[in-house]
Structure 1
Amino acid sequence: MEKFNVQNVIDTLEELVNIPSPSGNTEKVIAAVENQLKPLGVKMQRNRKGGLIVTLPGENDREHKMITAHVDTLGAMVKEIKSDGRLSLTMIGGFRWNAVEGEYCQIETSEGKEYTGTILIHQSSVHVYKNAGEIKRDEKNIEVRVDAPVTNANEVRELGIEVGDFVSFDPRFQVTDHGFVKSRHLDDKASVAILMNTIQLIIEEQRKLPYTTHFLISNNEEIGYGGNSNIPPETVEYLAVDMGAIGDGQATTEYCVSICAKDSSGPYHIGLRKKLVQIAKEQNLNYAVDIYPYYGSDASAAIRSGHDIIHGLVGPGIDASHAHERTHFDSLVNTWKLVYHYLFSK
């Protein structure tokens, strides 16, 4: 039986994307990851930022590896409760308002109450607003229509909704007959699902890693600092597993594992990049080396925070990043295999 069973990753991914977790509100999804890994008997701890660190002992305990994927996602917060009962928003993470226009959403109050809604431009009705298509999609015009009988700000507040409440986007997870996975938040829950199944596979095989390895499930990557702390001083190599960006001029596809040579932070470590390429070649993986022009990762955040480490970045190719994302089974498997064989490399 193929040990890289993609259905295991898909099942984990579906569970994760259906747990709202915009940056700053990730307790539920971190707990879900923790609960799934707990039966494996692995060493786990939370950092003060709320991320989860899993450590597997290796033959060499003097030099460590660290590998990370982030479970936090894009989202929003209530910025203002308008006089007509609609909510204005402020972004969490980097996306464009047009990418969420028309999306169903969920508002979570500070007391834990949940309400559904729809993200719309204020001037939605073409029967009322002649220039509806020309209106700028921005913080001023985009708002949430709450699915509750409210017509003014006081009625909204009576529901418990206040400024600062988190708003998450409906993922609309779907698997197609041709092996595509469509969902919001494949960035980076696809990689988290891969790491979780990698840990499980290593435990089931009872294989000892060549180096003690820390798996960080970070929870603040979308706002820039998820993986910049809690890096043990023994750490030599630090690999971020995050999406590979697809678009004009990019080599990455929805079927390959993407190996990043450079992003907006600058080049990744050439030695580790060459090592990853060599592993991909040896394992006959479909891979692409690429440059992401407008991108940063937990690995680049770690470098910026002053850690003396070798850093790298790989991930599944994901189309329409930070919008209506899509990848393919092949990309998930190629990424999983590269991560697995990297962990056993010396």
Structure 2
Amino acid sequence: MTILHIDLDYLAETLETFLNIPSPTSYTDNAVRWCGQELDRLGIPFEVTRRGAIRAVLRGKERRPARAIAAHLDTLGAQVKAIKDNGRLAVVPIGYWSARFAEGARCTIFTERGSYRGTILPLMASGHTFGDDVDEQPTGWPHVEIRVDARCSTAEEATRLGIEVGDVVSIDPQPEFLENGFISSRHLDDKAGVAVMFAALKALIAVKDQLPVDAYFLFTIEEEVGIGAANILTEDIASLIAVDNGTTAPGQNSAEFGVTLAMADQNGPFDYHLTRKLARLCREDDIFYQKDIFRHYRSDVASAVVAGHDVRTALVCFGIDASHGWERIHIHALRSLAELITAYLLSPIAFWRDAEEVSTLEDFTTQPTEKAEQKLSSDVRMDEIEDEAVDE
């Protein structure tokens, strides 16, 4: 099929706007409102759950077996653990991230009275005071604190400001969009995935009458704490693909260019047929891709399966360097993901049997079991191979 045009300016603008809306897990209302307003602007119907997860839909020719794409609105953050005698704030992380990346971060503390700005600092923050000891202090959340940018040098003063234990802290993203396509920022996980979904939606609007089945776009609000898509799927949905980050690090096969297809995460392998269909679509449509496995990472699809949803699952990723830290991606990966999502949603249904939650073995799927035929190239003779084996 012909690749749909992806509006890269819209994708980048959406990402930049969304990065600047604080949304640590449990503090996602404003992000939810922004997404809803953008869906309204695009003319896409949606509904919102009690706590804020969004389920948007493009109607296809059939209701079942519906397909779903998911990304999460929530990000990492922190929470006030204690107010210290010196007016500084002890904090604990929201989601899993190292205090190593918190040191020096500018942040916002959200209280019921309003917000305050601050900086996360190590306990020994001044070389002029502590000398070489600043380089020897441990790394960890017990060893950092927030300095509030207000008159706040005692616990009593902090309390008068309205700061309380449990207040949510958002970390400044500090995004930078470079002319060569690289994007550096915190919270690209998974605000880049959200931007990809909006870019794919925008491209699909003009051809939505070609969708073979309903296509759901799910925006979850608690992925960073393991809940994710546990409670947002409908009974019509038979397959779920999460859009999230793939770690470009030693020992991994992810890349900052093209699509990274995850074959497994810490929960185990993704659906055999769906992952291989996505790879086939990449080959057919000349979308650059690579495959990877993540042993210390799970996404929205894992939470859905653990919650008991019997759906085919896959995870498609933009390669990200320094995940959950100072993250970096490239616009090429985001465009590739949007192209793959649109190609998948427009592709024919492979297994109409999936429209029913329970059926018989009739039309049930099969997997290859035949022994692969080993073919030799025309310029390599069997006697040469045997001679080499003898020499060894």
Residue identity opposite 1:330 in structure 2? H
Q: 1:141 aligns with which of 140, 143, 167?
A: 143
Question: Residues 69-88 of structure 1: matches in 2 within 5 Å?
Answer: 69-88=71-90
Residue identity opposite 2:302 in structure 1? S
Residue identity opposite 1:213 in structure 2? A
Corresponding residue number in structure 1 for 2:117: 116
Deviation at 1:5, TM superposition (A): 2.1
Contact 2:61 2:209 in 1 (8 A): no
Deviation string, structure 1 residues 77-133 (Cα, Å, up to 9, x no partner):
11111110100101100110001111111111124x111111110111122223211
Q: 1:163 aligns with which of 151, 156, 165?
A: 165
Q: 1:319 aligns with which of 318, 321, 336?
A: 321
Paired positions, count: 345
Mapped to 2, the partners of 1:204 and 1:81 lie a distance apart of 54
Mapped to 2, the partners of 1:94 and 1:110 lie a distance apart of 25
Please identify the structure whose Cα radius of gyration is greater.
2
Q: TM-score, normalised by structure 2?
A: 0.86
Mapped to 2, the partners of 1:205 and 1:274 lie a distance apart of 25
Mapped to 1, the partners of 2:41 and 2:180 lie a distance apart of 33
Mapped to 2, the partners of 1:172 and 1:238 lie a distance apart of 32
- The farther-off stretch of 132-141 and 162-171 is 132-141
- Root-mean-square deviation (CA, aligned residues, Å) is 1.4
Residue identity opposite 2:94 in structure 1? I
Mapped to 2, the partners of 1:110 and 1:342 lie a distance apart of 44
Contact 2:122 2:144 in 1 (8 A): yes
- SS of equivalent to 1:193: helix
Q: 2:236 aligns with which of 234, 237, 241?
A: 234
Corresponding residue number in structure 1 for 2:30: 28
- SS of equivalent to 2:141: coil
Structure 2, unaligned runs of 5 or more: 349-392
Question: Residues 74-223 of structure 1: matches in 2 within 5 Å?
Answer: 74-111=76-113, 113-129=114-130, 130-223=132-225
Distance 1:64 1:206, change over 3 A: closer
Structure with the bigger percentage of helix: 2
Residue identity opposite 2:83 in structure 1? I
Q: TM-score, normalised by structure 1?
A: 0.97
- SS of equivalent to 2:235: coil
Matching of residue 43 in structure 1 with residue 41 in structure 2: no
Contact 1:66 1:215 in 2 (8 A): yes
Deviation string, structure 1 residues 249-300 (Cα, Å, up to 9, x no partner):
1111111211000111111111111001001111111111001121001101
User: Between the two proteins, what is the percent identity of the paired residues?
Assistant: 37
- SS of equivalent to 2:212: strand
Distance 1:59 1:206, change over 3 A: closer
- SS of equivalent to 1:315: strand
Deviation string, structure 1 residues 126-176 (Cα, Å, up to 9, x no partner):
222232112112222111011112110111111111111110111001111
Structure 1, unaligned runs of 5 or more: none
Contact 1:22 1:168 in 2 (8 A): yes
Contact 1:57 1:208 in 2 (8 A): no
- SS of equivalent to 2:32: helix
Residue identity opposite 2:108 in structure 1? Q
Deviation at 1:42, TM superposition (A): 1.8
Contact 2:60 2:213 in 1 (8 A): yes
Mapped to 2, the partners of 1:26 and 1:62 lie a distance apart of 31
Question: Residues 245-284 of structure 1: matches in 2 within 5 Å?
Answer: 245-284=247-286
Q: 1:309 aligns with which of 304, 308, 311?
A: 311
Deviation string, structure 1 residues 293-339 (Cα, Å, up to 9, x no partner):
21001101111111111011002111110000011111111111111
Corresponding residue number in structure 2 for 1:286: 288
Mapped to 1, the partners of 2:64 and 2:152 lie a distance apart of 61
- SS of equivalent to 2:274: helix
Deviation at 1:7, TM superposition (A): 1.6
- SS of equivalent to 2:309: coil
Contact 2:184 2:329 in 1 (8 A): yes
- SS of equivalent to 2:133: coil
Contact 1:260 1:313 in 2 (8 A): yes
